[in-house]
Structure 1
């Protein structure tokens, strides 16, 4: 019985010290998620690509956690992105097709009832950013800065010309610039 009490006291102290240590940790681990549309498994250097050099992605892969057996929940980029950002199967909330870019359509986008993992991370003190394609709604209430991202640099629609100059896309003739948060980003070179 005495041994049991000593062991219990020992483990209680270890547990208490661990909890105190975690509570005092000031820096949260960085979380980096890379989603690339139409990227094949062997299209990056760390998986064997020879024709395209990807030193920065390779460095991230070698220094982090790699998931080598992943699947998407939809073959279209928008619904797949919606599933990743919410952690839910997108058919459960009606995101079965790509969202057309329509800045005036208050219904066309990732449903506001769906919370993104970026929003959940903000709630526990993380700073969040998204860089690249959004493609989950063009109306202001659907845009990244309203969906849990502190910083956005990219474009709201599904496709974009990456070279300088104005870009004319869309059936109704929308001009779709590269955005930095809510403002048009100024640039004069390759993105």
Structure 2
């Protein structure tokens, strides 16, 4: 997450949505009194002890609100990027087995294990994207803008225009190696991902084939 007092924005870094590419671009515009929490590639913590203790940068918008106050939180542009949950789940599985070719050799077995045998419920990368973006009621989005990984550069350009900062071409950072996500699915896996990430599909308008 990045909180910019200089440009009055909050970037909620949803895992597996190109967050490190966005972070790198946004850092070029950060001032000394801006804050970032991140634990990969660089190690930075928020100045608030309870959030700094979490040890990663994928914080929920509702977690930072008490530290900013209602007026600032309401007035800052709050944005994030989201991704088709079916694509994101494949990327998650490939990412967790990076450094080898196990996912490339047995993708459906790995996906089945993650969904049915031993789901990593407590892992922030496995949780729904909406978990970081909704209010305490669990349904109301706190974001003012939501970019899409499927249109990453165009979304980033639009967000920069809204913030009032120059845009630039995003780098590819921390990507995973896998084919088109549709190739990995069976009907049972489709149903399982649809059930687990039902709120993401509904809130962000995705289906198995893309944006509805």
Rg larger in 1 or in 2?
Answer: 1
Normalising by structure 2, report the TM-score: 0.28
